[in-house]
Every structure is written in structure tokens, then in C-alpha cells.
């Protein structure tokens, strides 16, 4: 009983700590977006971005969610979605396309600094993430539109109650926002609990063990592959942090580090991030299966290019290191 109490207490403390850090970003974002809606700024931005979003078959307003994702992260982007959802009739197809794009390119200013610390070129890794975002969005739109899939209204778990339209007063908007923020907290607690249970049950370790050989086939060495799997399952910060530590020890071969980090960039945090986009109304077939397939489709040719590449070119354009690491 004591262990269960301690476990519950730790989950609660971690959830509150993470949530507090998030809402300090989310609430200002929500206020700014609401002001933009009320005074027509969002309409102006939508007009500017409409041609670009049309390439992916998305409403122009989705650009605001995408930009927020790229600069700040998934949770603040969910806050923007909360504000826009009553006004924009997002379909499941919209959220599957947009959600997948968000997964490939989110919170770049923070995550790409982690990538840079491993020695990988920040220019190349950022370009690859943005390219994957565009390719995924375009291909998903072509496929879903051609087969007329997911045209029903998106089941957005964290959206406000639209009611009869936009809240007429700031008080009504605030009440709706609190309801959306409460749902974000519930989802956050569920995600933290799920990750803890997967870790305690040993499922995470088994997944890492089973999938590591797949990474080794594309040139990610035996020492780096388990670390890469941590990043793929749990997040770039986890996997990148472990790889940074091993790079500093000189335990990983540079090309293996490079391929590991590029693959983590493309497909990291498959558990938490996927569930967030599911809560935003995306369909699992695109945001999970589609993301994995595109990640492999992109990393394989990159691996074929990098592995035979002369060191002079590799170290000049793709990887910066202070001293050579042993070939492991």
C-alpha cells in the first residue's frame, strides 16, 4: 500500500511540475491567439498563408497551429487548437495531415540545440525535419483526398465547447479555456502514468531490445542503437541526452551518432507525442504508421549516402567533433 501511495504521489508531483511549466507558456499563447481572432489578425495571417496550406489541403488557420508547433511545441500548439476549433471545422483528415506535420517538426529551437550538442550539423538536421514535414503533409493529402478518407469532423478531445459560436465575452472564453486546459492536464497525467507503467513493466526495455537490430541494419552501431531506441520511444531529450554523454566519453563512432540523431529527429517520442496528436483528432494510421514509414524511407538513403562518404566531406558538412572516437 505504501508503494502504491508513493507511486501515486510521484506521478502527481511530476504531473503538476510539468503542467505548471507548460501553462506558463500555454496561457499567454491562448490569450494572444484570442486577441488575434477578435481583432482580425488571425484572418490576415490566414490570408498570407492560405496558398502554402492549400498544398496540404488544410484550412489557412492551421498555419497558426503549425508555426506555434515549430517554434514552441505540441502543447502550446494544442492551446492554439483549443482557441481555433470552435471557428474552424477541422476534419479527421485535416488533423491527421496537420498532426503528422507537427510530429516531424516541433519545438525546433530547443530540440535542435540538443542535436547540435551531439556534433550533428544543425543546418542539415533542421532541413531534414522540415523536409519530412512537407513530404508527409503533401503525400498524406494526396492519399486521403484520392480515397476520400477521414472526412468526418475531427474528434478533438481538448477543444472548447463551440456552443452557438465564439464566446461573446472574455469571461465565457476564459471558462471554455479552463475546461480545455483541464483536459490537457488529464491527458498529461495519463501520458506520464503510461510511460511509467511501460518502464516498470519492462515493456520499454523489451521494445528497445527487439527493435535495436533494425537500427543496426541501417548503419546505427551496436552501442548507439539502444540509445537511439530510447529517443525514438521516449523523446529526443532522453535519447539525445544519453548520446551526448557517450559522445563526450568517446564511446560512439561519429557516423553512427549522426545516423542515430537524424533518425531520432524524424521519429522520436512515438509514445507520448503520438497520443497527444490522437487527442487533437488525428488518426493513428497517419500519425503513427505513416510517420514510421516515412522515417525509414528517408533514413535509408541518408545512410547509404553517409556510410561510404569520405571523412573529409563528412566532418566538414555533416558532423563537427573535437576528437575522433573509436570505431565501435
Q: pLDDT for 118-147, tens place per residue? A: 999 999 999 999 999 999 999 999 999 999
Burial, 239: exposed, middle or buried (Cβ in 10 Å; 0-12, 13-18, 19+)? buried
Does residue 282 register a pLDDT over 70?
yes
Each residue's pLDDT tens digit, 202-219: 988 888 888 888 888 888
pLDDT at 265 over 50: yes
CB 246 within 8 A of CB 320: no
Instruction: Name which residue leads in pLDDT, 172 or 317.
Output: 317
Domain ranges of the chain: 2-317
What is d(CA 122, CA 110) in angstroms, rounded to the nearest whole number?
A: 11
Q: What confidence tens digit (pLDDT) does each residue in 215-241 have?
A: 888 889 888 989 899 899 988 988 888
Task: Provide, rounded to the nearest whole percent, the portion of the chain with pLDDT above 90.
Answer: 49
- d(Cα 151, Cα 93) in Å, to the nearest integer? 6
Task: Give residue 318's pLDDT.
Answer: 96
Residues 33-81: tens digit of each pLDDT: 888 878 777 778 878 889 999 999 999 999 999 999 999 899 999 989 9
The pLDDT tens digits for 286-308 are: 999 999 999 999 999 999 999 99
Among candidate residues 21, 76, 305, 34, the one with its CA nearest the CA of residue 172: 34
Q: Contact, 30 vs 177, CB < 8 A?
A: yes
> Which residues partner with 153 through β-bridges?
91
Q: Is 233 helix (H, G, I), strand (E, B) or coil?
A: helix
CB contact at 8 A, 108 and 71: yes
pLDDT at 174: 84
pLDDT for the residue 162: 52
Amino acid at each position: 500500500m505504501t508503494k502504491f501511495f508513493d507511486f501515486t504521489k510521484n506521478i502527481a508531483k511530476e504531473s503538476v511540475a510539468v503542467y505548471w511549466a507548460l501553462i506558463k507558456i500555454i496561457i499567454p499563447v491562448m490569450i494572444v491567439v484570442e486577441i488575434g481572432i477578435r481583432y482580425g489578425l488571425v484572418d490576415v495571417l490566414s490570408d498570407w498563408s492560405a496558398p502554402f496550406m492549400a498544398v496540404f489541403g488544410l484550412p489557412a488557420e492551421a498555419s497558426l497551429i503549425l508555426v506555434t508547433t515549430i517554434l514552441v511545441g505540441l502543447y502550446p500548439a494544442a492551446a492554439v487548437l483549443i482557441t481555433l476549433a470552435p471557428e474552424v471545422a477541422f476534419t479527421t483528415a485535416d488533423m491527421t495531415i496537420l498532426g503528422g506535420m507537427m510530429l516531424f517538426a516541433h519545438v525546433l529551437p530547443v530540440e535542435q540545440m540538443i542535436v547540435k550538442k551531439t556534433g550533428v550539423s544543425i543546418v542539415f538536421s533542421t532541413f531534414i525535419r522540415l523536409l519530412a514535414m512537407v513530404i508527409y503533409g503533401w503525400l498524406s493529402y494526396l492519399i486521403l483526398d484520392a480515397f476520400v478518407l477521414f472526412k468526418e469532423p475531427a474528434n478533438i478531445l481538448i477543444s472548447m465547447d463551440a456552443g452557438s459560436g465564439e464566446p461573446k465575452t472574455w469571461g465565457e472564453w476564459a471558462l471554455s479555456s479552463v475546461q480545455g486546459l483541464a483536459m490537457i492536464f488529464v491527458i498529461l497525467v495519463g501520458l506520464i502514468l503510461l510511460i511509467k507503467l511501460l518502464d516498470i513493466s519492462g515493456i520499454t526495455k523489451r521494445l528497445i531490445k527487439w527493435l535495436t537490430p533494425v537500427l543496426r541494419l541501417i548503419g546505427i552501431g551496436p552501442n548507439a542503437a539502444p540509445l537511439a531506441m530510447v529517443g525514438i520511444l521516449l523523446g529526443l531529450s532522453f535519447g539525445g541526452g544519453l548520446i551526448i554523454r557517450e559522445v563526450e566519453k568517446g564511446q560512439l563512432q561519429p557516423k553512427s551518432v549522426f545516423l542515430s540523431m537524424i533518425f531520432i529527429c524524424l521519429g522520436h517520442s512515438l509514445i507520448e507525442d503520438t497520443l497527444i496528436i490522437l487527442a487533437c483528432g488525428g488518426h493513428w494510421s497517419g500519425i503513427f504508421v505513416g510517420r514510421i514509414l516515412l522515417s525509414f524511407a528517408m533514413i535509408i538513403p541518408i545512410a547509404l549516402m553517409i556510410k561510404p562518404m569520405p571523412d573529409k566531406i563528412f566532418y566538414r558538412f555533416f558532423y563537427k567533433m573535437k576528437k575522433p572516437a573509436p570505431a565501435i
